[in-house]
Structure 1
Amino acid sequence: MKQFYILLAVLGIFSACKKEAGKTVETEEQSAPDFVVAFGSCNMAQEPNSFWDDILAEDPDVWIWGGDIVYADTDDVERLRSIYAMQDTVAGYAKLRNEVPIIGTWDDHDFGVNDGGSDFAIKAESQQVFLDFMGVPEASARRDQDGVYAAHEYEVPAGKVKVIVLDTRYFRSELIKDEDSNKRYKPSMDSTATVLGKAQWQWLENELNRSDADFNLIMSSIQVLSGEHGFETWGNFPLEIEKLENMIAQSKAKGVMILSGDRHISEFSRNDVAGLSYPLVDFTSSGLTHSYSSFSGEPNQYRVGEVVSDKSYGVIAFDFEKKEADMKMKGDNGVVLQELKQTY
């Protein structure tokens, strides 16, 4: 009988230890974010994209194309249309499209010409093909304006997010080739040179000034803050960067951040702008189906963390109460490659 009680005691102790051990491995369940944005760029319809199921698993409130949705590089409108159609046949993307609102902009390869700008001969026709792909109604005012820029507002019980999608192609002035170094382009100080064009600049100013959103995301396709590498960037037009930063600061819009793509790398850039009560972040997410795998380094005085040269997509989770944006670069199966949290 004594041995029986000893056995019970041992079992009781074991059970208690097991229970206590269970507490140590329990993780506090994370509360769901108030709003989730997923975005990416540089996507070849002909190449496998392993991220669509991962992106859908993020349960995003919106997917934002950052440009180079397809690689067409053509002035043949029907060929351009057929390449977009190829993207629509991708099963993973079709599923995302059916479940999540999709917005975005173009960059050079879906615009129709590498590093292309305002002098591209079929830009008006290309715009209509792009709008067709994005499902923009025939009666939309976007069908009549020059350029694919647009603003979208999303309101949830906790607050509001505004996404301002820019067109950095339709109006962009000619780039200046750099014949004196190993860089492709050099900055222009011409006061008449532009990235956005007069009408789009006026529109952007109005969208920022009247915004009552808790967070304002500006999708730029090309990088804004990283301007030293000599490829395409707002850095080729320093006066335009100054104009953009001043406009953001003077607007008093809350929680403004830049999203960009184009580079086949992902990185965070951050700069303190005069008159702005929070740092301006440029979150570059680029390389959905192919990336700059041979990347060996380049200067960026505003970089935070390291460059990610693996294929990736971007996710931003917003907490309206904390006024916080949790930005993550993610790889296959949702693996976090790098993270940056910013309070506004």
Structure 2
Amino acid sequence: MVSNNRIAFGSCNEQDRQNKMWPIIEKRGPAAFIFGGDAIYGDYDLPTDWTKFLPETPHVCADPARLRNLYKKQKAVPGYKSLLKSNMTIFGSFDDHDYGCNNADKTFEHRYEAGLEFVEFLGQPADSPMSRRAQAGMGVYGVKLFDFARPKGQQEVPDEEALIDPHVLDNGNATAVPVFPAYSNQSVAVFVLDVRSNKSPWKQGSAAYIPDFEGDMLGEDQWQWFEAAISRSRAAVNVVVSGLQHHANIFPEPNIAESWTRFPSSQQRLFDAMLQDGVQAPILVSGDVHMSQLMRKDCARIDGTSKQRRSLVEMTTSGMTHSWGTVSSPPLSNPNEKPSLQERYKSFAARVTMHVLHAVSPWTDLLVSQPSTEEATAGLFPNGGGEGAKDGLQYSLEKNFGELEFDWENRRVSMRSFGETPGTPPLLMASWTLDQLSGHDSIPGSVLTSQNFVDQANLHAPRFTKNGGEWMCLAHRGTPSLFWQMAGHVSTVGGLSILLPFPMLVPTLLLAMMFFRKPRTGLASSKRRI
């Protein structure tokens, strides 16, 4: 069903593989499609060198020429090409693979050129604020405003009318918030952040397991831009998109599982900016992890001056051509290609591992749909499970794209994750009122008490004293114990250690059984002949 009141999101798209999402997205008719990272995969692995005592798989990072060629190839993909012709706004920011190198940061040698290639891929005009920042080597970040009270095809508000981006004026002095904004109360601001060009490197070795309070995700220029821009927004909904998960803490080693939680000071600064007075209905969107998840943190002021609680909900939508629960899509060059036995096994092992991890790990940010409540009866699903979507823990391992739909009459937002089969219910779905997302009304499902916030504030007092944090944000289903966290991490390592080498263990065991099998006795043989 086509709707003028939608914005779609997606990430992790291999340009050489089939992506069945493009026609589904176009048919649903969103005002915009926002890339949440990995629009292409520029880096790649060479074949494993088995001649060495410890086999190596060399990793090759992309240079600007390769990125340019792959972006050109992506724009020629039929489904995406049709999307480009549909008068839909294409916007977003990059993550590591379209930046050019796995888990890359500000030390990447092609940092500057990668930004230029990405804004060219998005089709940003050379004089746009995002392009000017990329040309100045500041990174790839920006904001787009959509006013859904305007006619279809005209919902993107020009930067000069929106007056949200501080760099929209040539002198960069757009500091005053417009008293009478040139947009309605049916507007959505989408901020895209660059978590690569100015990001500090992850620490290595045992030091990587300790949260890095000095690590910076955005760089000071981008921080000042974002804090000023979001404070200027008078949009009814404010969506913040970055390539890395903001709430999740899947694994304590960021070189294995990247997230904002590994740079706590940056995470705190992000939350404080989004929860400042005047920012209505903040929503987080992320990619990177090849699955979809719906998450929530509840936040309270550290100084105790207000009993007000505010929630920050997050939609992770990742894996348009590959995911933890599926075999990768076939190549565009051979759409009828069948996956090999090895590919099927790897998909099975990954799927089982991730289901087990969701069952045993302390991921208490995840929404859990509950039995029908008054809110659900009224058409609200604040803990997920609506519209025939999955019940229980709100995650899916299927290939997916995300969507936000805005019901302006009832002042509600619906968050959905869709799979690659047209006409089927969403994989995940949750919905809230704008008042709930803005902190005016509470959202059911939290187990947190005031004492939980006091205890955590005392525990982390030095951190907040140093960084001037204003809000304490906790997983809405409670802070997991250290034992539970360690059990989850051990399960991660244990599951992978057992499942991944299993194909090699089976033939080894069979050969061993044949070699050590005892010979049959003559008596036994004669009995069989009888």
TM-score range, shorter chain: 0.7 to 0.9
5 Å matches for 1:212-291?
212-230=234-252, 231-275=257-301, 278-291=310-323
**Higher mean C-alpha deviation, range 38-47 or range 300-309:** 300-309
Are the equivalent residues in 2 in contact too, given 1:33–1:319 (CA < 8 A)? no
Q: Which residue of 1 aligns with 2:144?
A: 152
SS at match of 2:42: coil
CA displacement at 1:179 relative to structure 2: 3.6
* AA matched with 1:159: Q
Q: Which residue of 1 aligns with 2:114?
A: 126
Mapped pair 1:195 → 2:258: no
CA displacement at 1:144 relative to structure 2: 3.4
SS at match of 2:422: helix
5 Å matches for 1:306-321?
306-321=394-409
Are the equivalent residues in 2 in contact too, given 1:39–1:315 (CA < 8 A)? yes
TM-score normalised by L of structure 2: 0.56
Are the equivalent residues in 1 in contact too, given 2:93–2:192 (CA < 8 A)? yes
Q: Partners in 2 of 1:228 and 1:92 — Cα distance? A: 33
Mapped pair 1:47 → 2:74: no
SS at match of 2:85: helix
Q: Which residue of 2 aligns with 1:324?
A: 412
**Gap change, CA 1:133 and 1:179, over 3 Å in 2:** same
Q: Which has the higher strand share?
A: 1
**Gap change, CA 1:277 and 1:210, over 3 Å in 2:** farther
CA displacement at 1:277 relative to structure 2: 5.0
Which ranges of 4 or more aligned residues in structure 1 deviate by more than 6 Å?
A: none
SS at match of 1:273: strand
Are the equivalent residues in 1 in contact too, given 2:129–2:142 (CA < 8 A)? no
Extract unaligned runs of 5+ from structure 1. 1-29
Extract unaligned runs of 5+ from structure 2. 44-60, 150-184, 302-307, 326-349, 368-392, 435-530
**Gap change, CA 1:108 and 1:45, over 3 Å in 2:** same
Q: Which residue of 1 aligns with 2:68?
A: 81
Q: Partners in 1 of 2:405 and 2:227 — Cα distance? A: 26
**Gap change, CA 1:334 and 1:107, over 3 Å in 2:** farther
Q: Partners in 2 of 1:325 and 1:33 — Cα distance? A: 13
Are the equivalent residues in 2 in contact too, given 1:39–1:63 (CA < 8 A)? yes
Q: Partners in 2 of 1:259 and 1:48 — Cα distance? A: 24
Point out the structure with max Rg over C-alpha: 2
Q: Which residue of 2 aligns with 1:173?
A: 200
- The one-character-per-residue Cα deviations of 1:277-318 (angstroms, maximum 9, x if unpaired) are 541111000000000122232532200133211101111111
Are the equivalent residues in 2 in contact too, given 1:33–1:318 (CA < 8 A)? no
**Gap change, CA 1:301 and 1:270, over 3 Å in 2:** same
Q: Which residue of 1 aligns with 2:523?
A: none
Are the equivalent residues in 2 in contact too, given 1:153–1:161 (CA < 8 A)? yes
- The one-character-per-residue Cα deviations of 1:186-218 (angstroms, maximum 9, x if unpaired) are 343333x20011011111111111110000000
SS at match of 1:129: helix
Q: Partners in 2 of 1:236 and 1:42 — Cα distance? A: 22
CA displacement at 1:33 relative to structure 2: 5.7
Q: Partners in 2 of 1:229 and 1:324 — Cα distance? A: 34
Are the equivalent residues in 1 in contact too, given 2:64–2:113 (CA < 8 A)? yes
CA displacement at 1:252 relative to structure 2: 2.6
SS at match of 1:282: strand
1:337 to 416, 427, 434: 427
Q: Which residue of 2 aligns with 1:164?
A: 191
Mapped pair 1:115 → 2:103: yes
Q: Which residue of 2 aligns with 1:5?
A: none
CA RMSD after TM alignment: 1.8
Q: Percent identity?
A: 31
5 Å matches for 1:7-46?
35-46=5-16
Are the equivalent residues in 1 in contact too, given 2:4–2:29 (CA < 8 A)? no
